[in-house]
Chain A
Amino acid sequence: MLLDAGNSLVGDQDPALKSRGATSIEAMNLLGYDAMALGAGDLALGLDVLQQRRGEAHFPFLSANVVLSDTGRLLATPYVTREVGHLRLALIGLTDAPPNPVPGLSVGDPVLAAARAVSEARAQADLILLLSHAGRAVDQRMADEVPGVNWILGGGSEGMTTEPIVNERTGVVILQAGNASAGHAGMTIGVAHLTIEAGGRLLAPQWKTILLSQGFADDPDLANWRLSEGSR
């Protein structure tokens, strides 16, 4: 599975900035993303643009704690389920609050939202993974306070190490691939091997971050798309 834990639609550079995230969606569609959690930076695109990007994406936007201010209904899908061998995996999205309010949107408490979503998702899934842009401190709270969570793939923690964190009491593992700060965007990917034995026993996951240095060749199709994008 290919997942994004938020704040990957737009930053401070073109073409994502100029296209308001459209090029990011195009690239993510080409790469075959399975799901993306919404981050505060994505919300900053505004409700109308966000809805447009959501319609263009070939994968679900996930957030269990962002609602439309006028109706109180969730903006995006709170979770999706996927088959993993003979087990079912639920992916729950969680979002951090933007520094400035976004008209039409409200961001609720991610810990409460996670608890609600887990409670609901457990009936449909054997394993629960939070795809969270709530930040490391909140991720650690969820690991400690929300029963039923197996793993947390996180984002939104500036300056934080990408070394895994394990909650000693619950065993929940928190993983984060990228360092959410200027000068680091798009530099690393995380690779996790999560092994589930017959009977549901979880083995300790294996985790690796890979720095996308100049030594790696470009994917030819994406390179061609990038060239065509640059000529627009």
Chain B
Amino acid sequence: MGFMHRSTTPVHSDEAASSGLPASPRPQPKARAVAGVLGLLVLAFSLLAAADRDGNEWSVRLPTARASQIDPAVPSGPMSSTLTILQTNDTWGYLDPCG
């Protein structure tokens, strides 16, 4: 059973912006020619770049001083990876947001 070495220093959005962390990679291109997909992603990323209106934002603080090991099975690459996930839940099939 491997352990992932976890950061003991919380990364806040300002620190992330100033620490030179790589920008989120663009999503992998989809085979399906669906402009709507790109439209939503463009919308989502433009929302991220805009002022934080009508939303909530947190930088998650992980517990400090936890014992951890770098998993030797994980290959060390030349740079970090950032995964951006858009999540929905309990939309009940609504096509228009419920007010």
Contacts and interface: CB of A to CB of B under 8 A. Distances in A.
B91 A30 contact: no
B81 A206 contact: no
Contacts of A133: 89
A95 interface: no
A200 interface: yes
A186 B40 contact: no
Contacts of A189: 44, 86-88
A155 B89 contact: yes
A78 interface: no
Interface string A5-19: 111111111011100
B97 A186 contact: yes
Interface string A63-83: 000000000000000000000
A131 B30 CA distance: 22
Given A189-B44, A221-B36, A169 B70 contact: no
A198 B30 contact: no
Nearest to A208: B57
A164 interface: yes
A178 B90 contact: yes
A87 B89 contact: no
Interface residues of B, number: 70
Given A31-B36, A171-B63, A6 B81 contact: no
Contact of B91 (A182, A186, A209, A219): A186
Contact of B81 (A39, A85, A215): A85
B11 A212 contact: no
B20 interface: no
Interface residues of A, number: 100
B74 A204 contact: no
A192 to B, nearest CB: 5
B54 A86 contact: no
A166 B34 contact: no
A204 B43 contact: no
Contacts of A13: 92-94, 98
A101 to B, nearest CB: 21
Given A31-B40, A127-B4, A178 B89 contact: yes
B29 to A, nearest CB: 10
A126 B73 contact: yes
A156 interface: yes
A190 interface: yes
Contacts of B97: 185-187, 212-213
Given A191-B87, A204-B61, A225-B36, 6 more contacts: A3-B87, A177-B87, A182-B98, A185-B90, A194-B84, A197-B80
20 contacts: A1-B84, A4-B89, A4-B91, A11-B94, A16-B93, A23-B93, A85-B81, A166-B61, A171-B62, A178-B91, A184-B98, A191-B48, A191-B85, A192-B84, A195-B83, A202-B7, A204-B62, A206-B16, A206-B60, A222-B39
Interchain residue pairs A-B with the least CB separation, the first 8: A11-B92, A16-B93, A85-B81, A155-B89, A32-B37, A200-B74, A221-B36, A186-B94
